[in-house]
Structure 1
C-alpha cells in the first residue's frame, strides 16, 4: 500500500493577510505552515521533505508541489500508483458550524461577530473544506484524487500518530499541544496497537491555547509569532521569573479535571488583544534585554505549569509508562526536561516531527494504520524508530556540477572518507566555523547532522562569532552541543534521560565541564544537547570522536546550516551560496573540502 501525506494551502497566507492584516510582526501561521509531503510504502517511510527546503521560503504555507513531486520521483511512482491520499486536517461542515456557534456566544460587538463569521465561512469555502483542498490539489498537480482514496485526518490525531510512528509504534500515552487546529489547541489520550483513544474531557479550545498565548507574548516582545518562540526561550535563561508571577497567579487557571483556562480568554481575531494586559503586568514595553527577559521567564514558567498540570492528570488516566509529547509546544525544550522528570512516566519522547513539519508523516501513518487491510503483522513488521534523514541527497556528479558553477570563487580539495574526518577534526581544533553537508537532508527543525554548521565550543567567544558573522542573528541566542550518547551523562545532568538525538531537551552542564565547553553553555548554565551514535550519524560521530581525541573537548557546537530568515540549505548550490555569503571558513560538501579563493 502506498500513502501520500500532504500539508499546505495555495491561498492561506493570502487569505489571512487580506482579512486579518497578518503580515510582518502581525504574521501568524495558523494553517499550512511547515508545508511538506511524505510517502509511505507498505508502512515504511521512504521519503519526506518540507516544501521550504525546495522553494526556499521559510515556513512556507504554500501547497507543497515541489515536495509532492520529489517524493513521487524518489519512489519512482506516479499519482496513479498512490492508494491513499492523507491530509492532516479535517474541516467538516460540522466543524464550521461549531466554530460559528462559538463566535455567536463570544463577548464581542455584533459587527465584529458578523465580520468574523463571514471570514470563517469564506475560509472554509475557499481554502480548508474537503472540496477546496481537493480542488487545490488538482489545480497544483493536475491530478484529482478519487474521493474513495482520500483521508482527512484531524490535525491533533495526525500529531499524535507522528510521535507514535516515528518512535517505533509502541503503546503510549500522549499529550498534543499547539496553537490551534480545526477547533482545539490541546488534548491527551492513548495509542494502543495503532488505535487512538482521545480523553475527550481534556480537549481545550482555541480561546485557551497556551501555544497561541505564548505566540502572543512572542509578538509583544517584537518577534514573529509561531516562528520566533525559540528566541523567547533563549531570553528566559537570562533571569529568574518574577515572584509572584502574574502570568501564573492572575492569568492561568488550573482545573481539577486536568484542563486549564485563562481569566481573560484569547481573541483569535484580535492579534494584540492581550498587549495591554501584558503591560499591566510588566509595565510599558521596553526594548531592552532586561525587560524582555523578565517577560520571557514569566511566560516560560506559565507554560511549564500548564503542561505539568496536564501530565499529572494524564498519569492518573493511563497505565502506560511511555509519554509522547507532540505539537508546536513540544518544541519548547526548556519545558520538556522538568516535565519528564516531574512525571511517573519511564520514558518521554518528542519526535523530530513534533511541530507541523511532521504532520504529513502522521497523516499518512494514520491512514495506513486505520486501513482495513493493515493488520497486526504489518504494524509489527514496520515498527522501528525512523531516521530523520528523509529528504533529497546529491551524488558526486551533482556536487561536482555545483562546484564547477562556482569556479574561481572557491578552491576545492577532494578527500577520501577517512581524510574527511581527520582533516575536519584538525581544522576544528582552531577557532574556525565549518559548513557540513552530507547525505539526505534531515526533516524538522531539530534533527541536524547532515546540513549543519560546526565549531569548537572550547572558545568562549565562538558563540558571538557565529551569531554575528555567520547566522546574522541576535547575540543572546545559544548554540547546541553535539555529544556522544555514551558520554552525555558524564558531561550533562541528564536525570532519567539517556539520549536526546533531536535537541528537544535541555540539561544543566556539570561544573567540571562548564569551562571546557563555554561556547555551548547558555547563560543559565544549561545546554540543549544532541546525542550521537555510530548507527544514527556514522561520519559525524566519527568526527566527534576524533576531535575529542585531539582536543580533550567532548562536544562540538552544532547549528543549522542557514542564516536567519532562510531555510536550511538543501542543494550543493544552496550550501555554496550560504558559504560564500557568510564568514564560514570551510565547507565540507560530501567528500570535498571547500575554501574561499584568495581573490
Structure 2
C-alpha cells in the first residue's frame, strides 16, 4: 500500500495577510506553515521533505508541489500508483458550525463577531474545507484524487501518530500541544495497537492555547511568532523568573481535570490582544536584554507549569509507561527535561517531526494504520524507530556540476573517506568554522548532522564568531554540542535520559566540563545536545571520535547550515551560496573539501 501525506495551502498566506494583517513580523501567524510531503510504501517511510528546503522560503505555507514531486520521483511512482492521499487537517462542516457558534456566543461586539464569522466562513470555503483542499491539489498537480482514496486526519491525531510511528509504534500515552488545530490547542490520550483514544475531557480550546500565548509573547518581544520561540527560550536562560510570576499567579488557571485556562482568553484573530496585559505585568516594553529576559523567563516557567499539570493528570489516566510529547510546544526543549524528570513515565520521546514539519508523516501513517487492508504482520514489520534523514541526497556528479558554476572562486580538493575524517578533524583543532554536507537532508526544524555547520567548542569566542560572522543573528543565541552517546552522561547531567538524538532535551553541563567546551555551554550552564551513534550517523560519529583523539575535547558545535531568515540548505548549490556569502572557512561537500580561492591565495 502506498500512502502520500501532504500539508500546505496555495492561498492561506494571502488570505491571512489580507484578512488578519499577518505580514512582516506576524507573517507566520497562520495555518499550513511547515508545508511538506511524505510517502509510505507498505508502512515504510521512503521519502519526506519540507517544501521550504526546495522552494527556499522559510516556513513556507505554500502547497508542497515540489515536495510531492520529489517524493514520487524518489519512489519511482506516479499519482496513479498512490492508494491513499492523507491530509493532516479535517475541517468538516460540523467543525465550521462549532467555530461559528463559539463566535456567536462570545462577548465581543456584534460588528466584530460578524466580521470574524465572515472571515472564518471564507477561510473554510476558499482554503481549508475538504473541497477546497482537493481543488487546490488538482490545480497544483493536475491530478484529482479519487474521493475514496482520500483521508482527512484531524490535526492533533496526525501529531500523535507522528510520534507513535517515528518512535517504533509501541503503546504509548501522548500529550499534543501546539498553537491550534481545527478548533483545539492541546489534548491527551493513548495509542494502543495503532488505535488512538483521546481523553475528551482534556481537550482545550484555541482561546486557551499555551502555544499561541507563547507566540504572542514572542511577537511582543519583537520576534517572529510561530518561528522565533527558540529565541525566547534562549533569553530565558539569562535570568530567573520573577517571584511571584504574574503569568503563573494571575493569568494561568489550573483545573482539577488536568486542563488549564487563562483569566483573559486569547482573541485568536487579534495578534495584539494581550500586549496591554504584558505591559501591565512587566511595565512598558523596553528593547533591552534585561527586560526581554525577564519576560522570557516568566513565560518559560508558565509553559513548564501548564504542561507539567497536564502530565500529572495523564499519569493518573493511563497505565502505560511511555510518553509521547508532540506538537510545536514539544519543541520547547527547556520544558522537556523537567517534564520527563518530574513524571512517573519510564521514557518520554519528542520526535524530530514534533512540529508541523512532521504531520504529513503522521497523517500518512494514520491512514495506513486505519485501513482495513493493513494487517498486523505489516505493522510489526514496520515497527522500528525511523531515521530523520529522509530528504534528497546528491551524488558526486551533482556536487561536481554545482562546483563548476563556482569555478575560479573556490579551490576544491577531492578526498577519500578516510582522508575526509582525518583532514577535517585536524582543521577543527583550530578556530575554524566548517560547513558539513552529506547524504540525505534531515527532516524537521533542526540540523542533525547532514546539513550542519560545525566548529570546536573549546574556544571562548567561537559562539560570537559563528553568530556574527556566519549566522548573522543575535549574539545571545546558544549552540548545540554533538556528543558520543556513550560519553554523554559523563559530560552532561542527563538524569533518566540516556540519549537525545534530535536536540529535543536540554541538560546541565557537569562542572568539570564547562571550561572544556565553553562554546557549547549556554549562559545558564546547560546545553541542548545531540547524541551520536555509529549506527545513526556513522561518518559524523567517526569525525567526532577522531576530533576527540586529537584534542581531548569531547564535543563539537553543531548548528544549522543556513543564515538567519533562510531555510537549511538542501542542494550543493545552496551550500555553496551560503558558504560564499558568509565567513565559513571550509565546506565539505560529500568528499570534496572546498575553500575560497582568495583565502587560499593569501
Shorter-chain TM-score range: over 0.9
Correspondence for 2:40: 40
Instruction: Give the deviation of 1:83 after TM superposition.
Output: 0.1
Correspondence for 2:514: 514
CA contact (8 A) 2:28 2:59 kept: no
TM-superposition CA deviations, 1:311-357 (whole Å, max 9, x none):
00000000000000000000000000000000000000000000000
Correspondence for 1:462: 462
CA contact (8 A) 2:13 2:30 kept: no
Distance (Å, rounded) in 1 between the aligned partners of 2:499 and 2:446: 14
Aligned CA RMSD, in angstroms, stands at: 0.5
Correspondence for 2:125: 125
Correspondence for 1:545: 545
CA contact (8 A) 1:30 1:179 kept: no
CA contact (8 A) 2:447 2:560 kept: no
CA contact (8 A) 1:446 1:504 kept: no
Instruction: Give the deviation of 1:363 after TM superposition.
Output: 0.1
TM-superposition CA deviations, 1:440-485 (whole Å, max 9, x none):
0000012511000000000010000000000000000000000000
Correspondence for 1:478: 478
Distance (Å, rounded) in 2 between the aligned partners of 1:191 and 1:167: 12
Pairing 1:33-432 to 2, within 5 Å after superposition: 33-432=33-432
Distance (Å, rounded) in 1 between the aligned partners of 2:98 and 2:160: 23
CA contact (8 A) 1:471 1:564 kept: yes
Report the TM-score when normalising by structure 1. 1.00
Instruction: Give the deviation of 1:239 after TM superposition.
Output: 0.1
CA contact (8 A) 1:173 1:323 kept: yes
CA contact (8 A) 2:447 2:561 kept: no
CA contact (8 A) 2:88 2:359 kept: yes
Instruction: Give the deviation of 1:568 after TM superposition.
Output: 0.3
Moved more, 20-29 or 365-374: 20-29
Distance (Å, rounded) in 1 between the aligned partners of 2:158 and 2:269: 25
Distance (Å, rounded) in 2 between the aligned partners of 1:106 and 1:181: 20
2:316 counterpart SS class: helix
CA contact (8 A) 2:6 2:38 kept: yes
1:261 counterpart SS class: strand
CA contact (8 A) 2:457 2:520 kept: yes
**1:575 equivalent in alignment to 2:575:** yes
**1:557 equivalent in alignment to 2:557:** yes
CA contact (8 A) 1:388 1:447 kept: no
Distance (Å, rounded) in 1 between the aligned partners of 2:543 and 2:28: 40
TM-superposition CA deviations, 1:29-68 (whole Å, max 9, x none):
3311000000000000000000000000000000000000
Correspondence for 1:526: 526
Instruction: Give the deviation of 1:28 after TM superposition.
Output: 3.5
Distance (Å, rounded) in 2 between the aligned partners of 1:513 and 1:183: 47
Distance (Å, rounded) in 2 between the aligned partners of 1:261 and 1:269: 18
Consecutive unaligned residues in structure 1, runs of 5 or more: none
Distance (Å, rounded) in 2 between the aligned partners of 1:435 and 1:26: 31
Distance (Å, rounded) in 1 between the aligned partners of 2:27 and 2:215: 11
Distance (Å, rounded) in 2 between the aligned partners of 1:270 and 1:389: 38
Correspondence for 1:446: 446
Distance (Å, rounded) in 2 between the aligned partners of 1:241 and 1:30: 30
TM-superposition CA deviations, 1:264-301 (whole Å, max 9, x none):
00001111010000000000000000000000000000
Consecutive unaligned residues in structure 2, runs of 5 or more: none
1:256 counterpart SS class: coil
CA contact (8 A) 1:330 1:336 kept: yes
TM-superposition CA deviations, 1:490-541 (whole Å, max 9, x none):
0000000000000000000000000000000000000000000000000000
Distance (Å, rounded) in 1 between the aligned partners of 2:512 and 2:21: 51
1:175 counterpart SS class: strand
1:436 counterpart SS class: strand
TM-superposition CA deviations, 1:212-270 (whole Å, max 9, x none):
00000000000000000000000000000000000000000000000000000000111
Distance (Å, rounded) in 2 between the aligned partners of 1:45 and 1:170: 17
1:344 counterpart SS class: coil
1:270 counterpart SS class: coil
1:588 counterpart SS class: strand
Distance (Å, rounded) in 2 between the aligned partners of 1:539 and 1:266: 47
Distance (Å, rounded) in 2 between the aligned partners of 1:106 and 1:140: 38
TM-superposition CA deviations, 1:428-450 (whole Å, max 9, x none):
00000000000000000125110
Distance (Å, rounded) in 1 between the aligned partners of 2:441 and 2:419: 22
CA contact (8 A) 1:352 1:447 kept: no
Distance (Å, rounded) in 1 between the aligned partners of 2:300 and 2:432: 34
Instruction: Give the deviation of 1:378 after TM superposition.
Output: 1.2
